[in-house]
Structure 1
Amino acid sequence: MNSQELNTSEYLKGIVSNLPEKPGIYQYLNSESTVIYVGKAKNLKRRVYPYFSKEHEPGKTRVLVSKIADIRYIVVNSEQDALLLENSLIKQYKPRYNVLLKDDKTYPSICVQNEYFPRIFKTRKIIRNGSLYFGPYSHYPSMMAILELIKHLYPLRTCNFNLSPENIHAGKFNVCLEYHIKNCAGPCVGLQSHEDYQKNIAEIKEILKGNTQEISKHLQEEMQKLASEMKFEEAQKVKEKFLLIENYRAKSEVVSSILHNIDVFSIEEDENSAFINYLHITNGSINQAFTFEYKKKLNETKEELLSLGIIEMRERYKSLSKEIIVPFLMDIELNEVTFTIPQRGDKKKLLDLSLLNVKQYKADRMKQSEKLNPEQRSIRLMKEIQQELHLPKMPYQIECFDNSNIQGADAVAACVVFKKAKPSKSDYRKYIIKTVEGADDYASMREVVKRRYSRAIEEETPLPDLIITDGGKGQMESVRQVLEELKLDIPIAGLAKDKRHRTSELLYGFPPQTIGLKQGSPLFRLMEQIQDEVHRFAITFHRDKRSKRQVASALDEIKGIGEKTKTELLRHFKSLKRIREATEEELATVIGAAKAKIIKDGL
């Protein structure tokens, strides 16, 4: 450490030793006075001290600490204030080592325009001009369903004219087609009052907030009042509105309408990202649904990432919910807010729904990513195998063996090779069983494995990271015995099939244990592909060998036909069946008239 680094270290330790033991925000700055990290703390001194009191393992945290040249901090009154301030400062400075919300596309919102006769429309641009925005909507059909409901319930203007009282009074406008088809009540020419229009807008805002139950109740009361006054036509119009609202509520209500003003959060993560789903529940209906992604920077925990997500979403959607449903215990305090981890009932259904959404979003992001970079899929599958089987390293090269014979006849074996989770057909190998008499699959497996890896050791070719046998525990034991004899330490797995000859389970370890594979998952499909491929390769080789033997034996019985003639016939006609079907003239063009007659008579 040079003198400048030593001075910096002493300077930072001096700041840390004087930090207050109060809630607050700390900022790390580099030598250019750029904020590179913002953090929150219940206790500033206890949170920051560990960064500078020990030598960190090689990794992102050590890199961050090496770049810190100065520390700033802000003391606040409560943990909630710290959370809000942290969120604000991260947005302001976009520090290099903080997780940042990844908005890879702009979701649409519904705008209630700030004007005398407000228009309502979908938009992807947020303009701070006093207009109200509801959203963003991550599920486009949900937004369109609400807009369609509003369109049928309320006649609203769609024109872009400046409908100020002065312009309307001056008679600057004429009604358009929308008025004639009863989609607009004609406020441009004074046919609809400002008061009546604003009453509609107030009800629309309640619908957009999710308060459809209140609107429905109000419409029902109005309908009954009009009916009691014998105003049946007006009552019928209100009834149509009431039925539209009820129909919408029936489709959108997911749980009991008793559940009101609740936030639901769930989280899924992979190595580089965290995915968080947010649902806002009003009167048992999902009023907001949004899933977003954080890119990890410093191996942040699920709890830290979810805390950031909760603050971000509640601020973005201006949520004042007093209850937040989460999947696990949170070390976070918000004023007058209760955190719930439901185990059963309607609240558990909401959490499950949120988890379903976040898992789907993660899967979609993965598919998009893998389309752009196919290598990612291979790496993910190899990592999954490594994690499932607790392998010491990723199985870059996987080799799988299978035997094939009919009652011991024409016994053969095959080895298929997968590299980076993809077939490497140039490395496939076929084996004719030489030392085993009869149908002894275990002995055949021992012979083939020994031949393959003895040669690999001799020629110093790469050994596999994982060996898979097409069979159960007996085949695995056969392979283990050979590897032990050759002093090789290669993990062994077994793939078993069910009664319908479908891939059913993966075995691993000694004694072998069943590893659960979710049917239809990418990992299951890879194992199925490996098993199908080795079986296909072995069967094809066995059939070829058997058909050649059968052809050879039939021709062998004909006197006067030697090896050269047989070879010429097979090269030209490909099979014994075609040789039988050929005319004497066709045979003569290949082997001459004399031999053609002999073969025709002999067959």
Structure 2
Amino acid sequence: MPTRPDSQTEAPEAGNGREFDTKSFLKQLTERPGVYRMYDASGNVLYVGKARNLKKRVTSYFRKTGLAPKTEALVSRINSIEVTITSSETEALLLEQNLIKTLRPPYNILLRDDKSYPYIYRSSHDDYPSLTFRRGRTKKGGGTWYGPFPSSGAVKESLNILQKIFRVRSCSESYFRNRTRPCLQYQINRCTAPCVGFITPEDYQEDMRHATMFLEGKNPAILQDLMAAMETASKNLEFEKAAAYRDQINHLRHVQEQQSVHGEGGDADVVAIAQDAGVVCIVVIIVRGGRVLGTKDYFPRYSLEQSEGELLSAFLGQYYFGGSARREIPPDILVPVDVEGQELLSQALTESAGRDTRVRKNVRGERRRWLEMAMTNARQTLLSHLASKETVYRRLLALRDLLDLPETPSRMECFDISHSHGENTVASCVVFDENGPLKSDYRLYNIEGVAAGDDYGAMRQVLTRRYRRMVAGEGKRPDLVFIDGGKGQLNIAREVFDELGIKDIPLIGVAKGVTRRAGMEQLIDGMTGDLYRVPADSPALHLIQHIRDESHRFAITGHRARRDKKRRQSTLEGIEGVGPKRRRDLIRYFGGIQELRKASVDEMSKVQGISRNLAETIYAVLHDE
């Protein structure tokens, strides 16, 4: 999200006088599910919304025609937008409800009521307990509560399905006690009529045990039976029946979801860190009463020699103890890495809060999901910051001065090679302009007729193909070309340019240097062979790192796609630990690869034989992380 270095983004600075850079923001916005918050120039929240695809949803606000008058009025007041990424659309819905009830934005209407979350309640009846819909959780009655769930419609529909499968009662206690004959639910085969003794307490308790085991996520056998029935119906060409089974599976899975944005998790601050291209981003997610209340983003200055643990240690000290007003200190502060002086910091926080406070790295369950969500948001926020027009322009000026260019470059191209032991070699060409990555001009080149593993030959082929067209007047002319590699690759580029008669386009090689650490890159002038000594905190170096890393990412993505297509593999093939049986189980459980892409790590891990670590690997591959 667009922001300035060393500032937080939850409350944009009032009257900053800068126009919202819509183009740069939308270009880098993720396609994953999440929540977006729109602010005016004074930092007041205007609107909170959720989306299955953040990029598509937020982009729709800025189309030129077809907007309702209310939406046009909202868009005219937008000064900044923040996003929080979630692992599923359901989590986004719950977080949206929390934020609307807390912030009460003026342009939100649908969720401004004070309704409580829906639950499924198991009564405390000794012999014949019921499963019923309840809104809001209380301590009265002594029964068992399951939830909360994202919508009342999903709960009611799922209760109907559970009644069809297990035939447990859903009537009130007074209705149950006063029956003398079976009701309509028994007649339509949705109840076993325990009110008149048509089933023994033992048999009824067994049905209830199965129903509650399913609600607790402990009984995948029910789903296996439904999936087997769906396959049988499909083989018998009973497609309507198969579709009905498919819908039942989807409803049952929906009820079984465990939400990471609401639960019995207590209070915590979740702190995540991401760094790239000389910039570090720290995200703080605030959780109170098990609910995610919001996020704050920071871009502190740092030294290249500092580790992530050292950075977090310095940040936490300033975050909780810096300034005149002390922040609220929760019982738990969750971090992704070991923090330097962690015990001492915990003691200081405990003394300041007047109760035990722990800085924790190794967490499981709900807290682990919060930490993963924070890490995802830190990475996305950093990408958006790097792509902002203000950041790119400042780095372009620094690059012009570093290379002593006559003008600020308006088009830069970078090339990289990717292959697996010489197989299916692919070359990438990425393009940056004054707005950052120009993805519409990215190109992939399939390398043919070159010996396996010959990176020099591959580089010669891609450069010849790209710039032969330019010389013929068919391609755009860059102001600067980067080559990801050392003197060998750069010499090949120089030879190609000489063969094509290109004399006026600077060539720069980006070598990793002796230590191969970020910030220690060596820049080589393709014309003179001179080395550029660039400080690690140079904005020019950060821009070059961004271009180089983007070229590397694009090459690897293209290579994987070509390799899988040539091997005629599905997206799941090639993932270590996912064999034919697990692929089949995943497709059966979710009904197809598209539904699998929408699933969260928690949902994937519910498939038999899929551990949480394997689910995280599958999720990362499906989302190119």
With the length of structure 1 as denominator, give the TM-score of the two structures: 0.30
Q: TM-score, normalised by structure 2?
A: 0.29
Query: Higher Cα Rg: structure 1 or 2?
Result: 1
Higher relative contact order (Cα pairs below 8 Å, separated by 6+ residues): 2
